[in-house]
């Protein structure tokens, strides 16, 4: 079982989810745990293996939408925190720029910090479940061996 630093995995997950699916990608090497990053939008200076997208030695880090952490997560939050705004939020997510308008609504309702906590906890739970399902061991801060 390969081990990956949780903070590195979370950075890769955020990178993949920061654009529409397939524009940014990250892959975990199942031999070493190293994470490779690619982008269709920007040329990254990082060298990546030639067989990154074709070999079974690499596991693609999922996009947030693959784990129901995009619009669906926002709608789940609204059902808990602002059920009377459900239709308004559903309408917000039918157009571009939804997250900015969604966060403006949450700020005006005084629940933006609750959203950030809900989102963070949900991402943590689902990402850890994904790792377990895919045989990825998570290394937490402080789990790294000390060098003397």
What's the confidence (pLDDT) of residue 76?
A: 95
Q: Is residue 106 part of a domain?
A: yes
List the alpha helices (DSSP H) in the chain.
6-17, 71-81, 86-92, 98-108, 112-133
What's the confidence (pLDDT) of residue 34?
A: 94
What's the confidence (pLDDT) of residue 144?
A: 58
Helix (H) or strand (E) holding 60: strand 58-60
State how far the Cα of 136 lies from the Cα of 142, in Å rounded to an integer.
18
Residues 56 and 72 in one domain: no
Residues 49 and 72 in one domain: no
pLDDT in tens, 89-106: 999 999 988 999 999 999
What's the confidence (pLDDT) of residue 53?
A: 82
What's the confidence (pLDDT) of residue 146?
A: 43
What's the confidence (pLDDT) of residue 81?
A: 97
Q: Which segments in the chain show pLDDT lower than 70? A: 142-148
What's the confidence (pLDDT) of residue 79?
A: 96
Q: Is residue 93 part of a domain?
A: yes
Residues 116 and 101 in one domain: yes
- Tell me if residue 2 falls in helix, strand or coil: strand
Residues 23 and 73 in one domain: no
Q: Is residue 53 part of a domain?
A: yes
Residues 49 and 74 in one domain: no
User: Are 138 and 127 a contacting pair, CB within 8 Å?
Assistant: no
Q: Is residue 112 part of a domain?
A: yes
Contacts with 133 (C-beta within 8 Å, 6 or more apart), sequence order: none
Q: Is residue 13 part of a domain?
A: yes
Residues 15 and 37 in one domain: yes
What's the confidence (pLDDT) of residue 10?
A: 96
Residues 91 and 115 in one domain: yes
Q: Is residue 32 part of a domain?
A: yes
Q: Is residue 44 part of a domain?
A: yes
Give pTM, 2 decimals. Answer: 0.84
Residues 6 and 57 in one domain: yes
Residues 42 and 18 in one domain: yes
Residues spanned by the domain of 52: 2-62+131-139
What's the confidence (pLDDT) of residue 116?
A: 97
pLDDT in tens, 110-135: 999 999 999 999 999 999 999 999 99
Q: Is residue 85 part of a domain?
A: yes
What's the confidence (pLDDT) of residue 142?
A: 67
């Amino acid at each position: 079982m390969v081990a990956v630093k949780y903070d590195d995995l979370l950075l890769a997950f955020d990178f993949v989810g920061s654009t529409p699916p397939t524009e940014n990608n990250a892959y975990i090497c199942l031999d070493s745990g190293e994470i490779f990053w690619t982008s269709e939008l920007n040329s990254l200076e990082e060298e990546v293996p030639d067989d990154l997208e074709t070999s079974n030695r690499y596991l693609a880090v999922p996009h947030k939408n693959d784990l129901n952490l995009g619009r669906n997560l926002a709608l789940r939050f609204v059902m808990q925190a602002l059920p009377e705004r459900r239709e308004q939020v559903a309408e917000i997510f039918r157009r571009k720029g939804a997250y900015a308008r969604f966060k403006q609504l949450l700020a005006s309702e005084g629940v933006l910090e609750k959203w950030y906590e809900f989102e963070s906890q949900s991402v943590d739970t689902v990402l850890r479940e994904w790792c377990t399902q895919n045989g990825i061991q998570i290394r937490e801060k402080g789990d790294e061996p000390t060098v003397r």
